[in-house]
Amino acid sequence: MLQAEYYVVERENNDHYPLFSWDQKENEYGLGVPVQYTEPLKFRLGDPISPKFEWVDYHKAPEPIISFPLARILEKLDIYGIQLIPAKVRNPKDPFSELHDYCFVHVWNRISCLDKTQSIITTNKAGDIIWGIEKFVLDEQTLGKFELRKRLIFELAENTSVLLMHQSIKDAIESINPKGIRFIPATQWNSDSTFD
C-alpha cells in the first residue's frame, strides 16, 4: 500500500519550540514554483514567545524552517521539488540578540493526489477549499504515476498545508535525532493531528 510509505510532517507540539513569522514580504514563496534568491530570508520568533523557548531543528512559519544539520542531510539527497534557502531569524523581544542561521525549505513540488471519495473532508460551500480532513486517503493510482524521485517530498495540491515525506527521507532525517519535528503516518493523520 503506497500510502503506508508516507508521513505527514508536523512540528512537535511544544510551546517552548516557537513558530517563526516572516520578517519580510513573502513574495513568490508559497506559489508552488521555484524561486530566485540572492540573500538570506528574514524571519522572527512568532508570538507568543515562551520565556523558556528553544532553538530546535524544526520550526514552522507555517512553512518548514530547519537547522543547518538537517538541511545538510536533505542537500545530500538532492530532492526534486524543494529549495533550501538560507534564513536569518531574530528574537524581536531582544533587539541585541544575535541572528540565528536556519534554512527555509521552499517546497514547490505539489501533487494532486487526495482520494476525495475515500477521504472524509470538510469544504466550503463551493467545495473548492478544504477546511479540514477527518480521514486522509491518498489516491495511490495517481501518486504511483510519478517516479519515486519526484514524490519524495511534496505538498498536497488540494491543501498545501499538508507536507508529505517518503519513508526513506524520514529515515535519513531521523538518523541525527532532530528536535522539534514529528512524522505522522499518512494512514493515521487528520487535521486535528497538528494539536496532538
* Amino acid type, 94: D
What pLDDT was estimated at residue 156? 95
Q: Which three cell numbers stand for residue 194?
A: 497538528
d(CA 9, CA 30): 17
Where residue 194 falls among pLDDT bands split at 50, 70, 90?
Answer: confident
Q: pLDDT tens digits for 153-182?
A: 999 999 888 999 999 999 999 999 999 999
Q: Is the pLDDT of residue 48 over 80?
A: yes
Q: Where do the structural domains in the chain lie, given as residue ranges?
A: 2-195
Provide, for the chain, the percentages of residues in helix, strand and coil under a 3-state DSSP scheme, each rounded to the nearest 5. 15, 35, 50
Q: Is the pLDDT of residue 26 over 90?
A: no
Q: Is the pLDDT of residue 196 over 80?
A: no
128 DSSP assignment = -
Non-local (6+) Cβ contacts of 45 within 8 A are 18, 19, 20, 21, 53, 89, 90, 91, 92, 93
Q: Is the pLDDT of residue 195 over 80?
A: no
Where residue 9 falls among pLDDT bands split at 50, 70, 90?
Answer: very high
Residue 68 — φ and ψ, nearest 5°? Answer: -65, -40
Where residue 97 falls among pLDDT bands split at 50, 70, 90?
Answer: confident
